[in-house]
Structure 1
Amino acid sequence: MKTVQAIKCFPIRTYLTGRGLLPTKENSRYGLYLSPLREEHTPSFKVDYMQNLWYDFGLGAGGSIIDLVMRLERCDFAQAVRLLSNGERSHIPAPVSSSVSPSVTTFRTLFDMPLRHPALVGYLSSRGIKPDIAFGYCREVHYAINGREYFAVGFRNNAGGWELRSERFKGGVSPKHIMTIDNRSDTVVVFEGFMDFLSYLSMKKQLQTDAAVLNSVVNLPKAIPFLDRHTTIHAFFDNDEAGQKATADLKRLCPNSTVINRSHLYREHKDLNEYWQAKQSRQHIAPKRKRGMKM
């Protein structure tokens, strides 16, 4: 695991770019962003490139990249260090050419198309996602970082932004938002990320209720108006402190709904997708039963 000091040296600017967040104004010393921690129309989130520190003038708070991850992922210091060290949920983009100047990082979406590249279909299959499910909810998104082109699985949110995933990349294209599906049901299933949502569909085959994907628990307040309309809410959040807090917040913010915590179904795993991958793996290596044996 990387040392805390090494993690703090990772550029906040690069981290934000991986989340699809670019400065509205910048120079060689600092950049001004729309805050990733709250809704705003006038940029008041400053990143000091020289000291690698951030400050949100609207919140009156700031700090290192670890402090930022603690707020974005709603986790404690140790969890933030672990996430950044392991690359989990850190949204760090794929490496760019060393010939590109590091002073300004540019992220640009080129186009999207039906999901078809074998590398992306194979990546989803490795995560247990059935191709027919992926084709119905995902697109193939091509993008560029500092002029170098890449492609990833794209999951579009309600505001037109994208969550992007591939074997080497975890990031997004702003605006960061939730995704909802309204089937006029009085029951809704809600997930932290779209891989959990796709895993659920791969298990269930079809969606018979409404659904919501937060694309980060920090987006929970954006989903409340939709979720609060339902009599029953099934929460499939991660088995960590942030997931537990999100479930508690959901119960508090939707007092007229019955909120059912489903994380116990995959209690031995970090999230629903990890559970589904493990289950698929066990089924794959399990010996075939002899004909005539009872199930």
Structure 2
Amino acid sequence: MNSIQAKTIKIVDYLYSQGIEPKKIQGNNYWYSSPLRKEETPSFKVDCLLNVWYDHGSGKGGNILDLVMAIHNLPNISAVLSHLSKESNSFSFQQQDILSSSDKQDQKDATIQVIKEIPISHPALIGYIQSRHIDLAVAQLYCKEIHYQVQGKNYFAVGFPNDKGGYELSHKSNNESTFKASVSPKHITTYKKADTHTEAYLVFEGFMDYLSYLTMKNIQYSKVDVVVLNSISNLSKAIDFITSHQKVYTYLDNDEAGKNATQQINRYSSTHNCIHIDKSTDYDANYKDLNEWLCKTKLKEKEQQVQKEEQIRKPSRGFKR
């Protein structure tokens, strides 16, 4: 490992590998109790966007190399690089993703071995969920933090379980692109009201869309039955669930595959006396899916709030006597 590669390691990931977790998160800023000294009030800040740190109590700051040197009292950069090389398997997918453009394909093509499943707690995954404007409590209710291995390399991601014990994996890499993969077997995910039979069914293409729906409705559980396809290719596995209800509401993507699936569900519904309502019209052709609509809506709300605050701060213009 050289200095350029080392600087791609996310500071929050390194701290997490050392058992150091943030006390609070504010946007891109993660606040910790300083790993360099003892303190009661967290004053050690990491800017995830710039990947730099600053310890307000000591007045020190810098990049990942400076931090590792300070934490472990190492004499020089060579010692830092040696230390990081030995612990490289402890770091998240961000480091692995950018080393080779083929790594992402390797994850998709090779067998994924799940190492452990834990509640979502890693700062990088929390940040990813927040970047999708998903309510964190909702995500933690339905998803897990999945640590897995592909061809000897360690990764982790947000994992959404299906009905057959597999997982849909999702995370964001350093270049801000979203990586998706699956832990076999590939299948649908269904949520049925155990105590009652509901007349309606909600159909989502991906789990981020389902979590977006719950976030937008400000609820943790749907009042009716739900199926998440986890892939359009799984539609045939869900047809029996869908057509067993009087009404079906579909929230599929605004692309060719999503529209074709919507039409297919519409045909199945008509032959089974099931009323089909296409809800993709709510987020029209300007948005790829429900989550993109949620993200853009939140962005507009934030912009409007900023404009209101700026108007309040502007001094009133009146005539002086």
TMscore range, shorter length: 0.5 to 0.7
Name the larger-Rg structure: 2
In the TM superposition, residue 95 of structure 1 has moved relative to its aligned partner by 6.2
Measured at CA, do residues 106 and 242 of structure 1 come closer, stay the same or move farther in structure 2, by a change above 3 Å?
Answer: closer
d(CA) in 2 for partners of 1:201 and 1:190? Answer: 13
Q: Does 1:188 align with 2:212?
A: no
SS at match of 1:233: strand
Which residue of the partner structure matches residue 251 of structure 1? 266
d(CA) in 2 for partners of 1:167 and 1:211? Answer: 26
Which residue of the partner structure matches residue 10 of structure 1? none
Richer in helix (by share):
2
SS at match of 1:166: strand
In the TM superposition, residue 146 of structure 1 has moved relative to its aligned partner by 1.2
Q: Percent identity?
A: 43
Preserved CA contact (<8 Å) 1:97 1:148: no
Letter in 2 for 1:121: I
Report how many residues are paired.
196
TM-score, normalised with respect to structure 1: 0.62
Which residue of the partner structure matches residue 288 of structure 1? 308
Measured at CA, do residues 106 and 189 of structure 1 come closer, stay the same or move farther in structure 2, by a change above 3 Å?
Answer: closer
In the TM superposition, residue 142 of structure 1 has moved relative to its aligned partner by 0.3
SS at match of 2:149: strand
Which residue of the partner structure matches residue 69 of structure 1? none
Q: Does 1:237 align with 2:252?
A: yes
Q: Select which of 281, 293, 296 maps to 1:275.
A: 293
In the TM superposition, residue 107 of structure 1 has moved relative to its aligned partner by 2.6
Q: Select which of 163, 166, 169 maps to 2:171.
A: 166
d(CA) in 2 for partners of 1:105 and 1:199? Answer: 30
The C-alpha deviation readout for 1:145-187, integer Å capped at 9, x for no partner, is 1111111000000011000011023111011100011023111
Q: Does 1:263 align with 2:280?
A: yes
Which residue of the partner structure matches residue 148 of structure 2? 143
Measured at CA, do residues 97 and 266 of structure 1 come closer, stay the same or move farther in structure 2, by a change above 3 Å?
Answer: closer
d(CA) in 2 for partners of 1:125 and 1:97? Answer: 27
Between 282-291 and 232-241, the greater mean CA deviation after superposition: 282-291
Letter in 2 for 1:178: I
Q: Which has the higher contact order (CA 8 A, sep 6+)?
A: 1
In the TM superposition, residue 288 of structure 1 has moved relative to its aligned partner by 3.2
d(CA) in 2 for partners of 1:161 and 1:106? Answer: 13
SS at match of 1:288: helix
Preserved CA contact (<8 Å) 1:130 1:202: yes
Preserved CA contact (<8 Å) 1:237 1:244: yes
Which residue of the partner structure matches residue 176 of structure 1? 186
SS at match of 2:186: coil
Q: Select which of 214, 228, 239 maps to 2:229.
A: 214
Alignment of 1:62-73 (within 5 A): none
The C-alpha deviation readout for 1:243-277, integer Å capped at 9, x for no partner, is 11101111222332101111111112011111100
SS at match of 1:282: helix
Structure 2 residues not aligned, in runs of 5+? 1-95, 174-178, 313-321
Preserved CA contact (<8 Å) 1:192 1:238: yes
Structure 1 runs of 4+ aligned residues shifted over 3 Å read 93-98, 288-291
- What's the C-alpha RMSD, in Å, of the aligned pairs? 2.3
Q: Select which of 197, 203, 209 maps to 2:210.
A: 197
Q: Does 1:224 align with 2:239?
A: yes
d(CA) in 1 for partners of 2:130 and 2:248? Answer: 28
Q: Does 1:153 align with 2:121?
A: no
Structure 1 residues not aligned, in runs of 5+? 1-92
d(CA) in 1 for partners of 2:112 and 2:141? Answer: 26
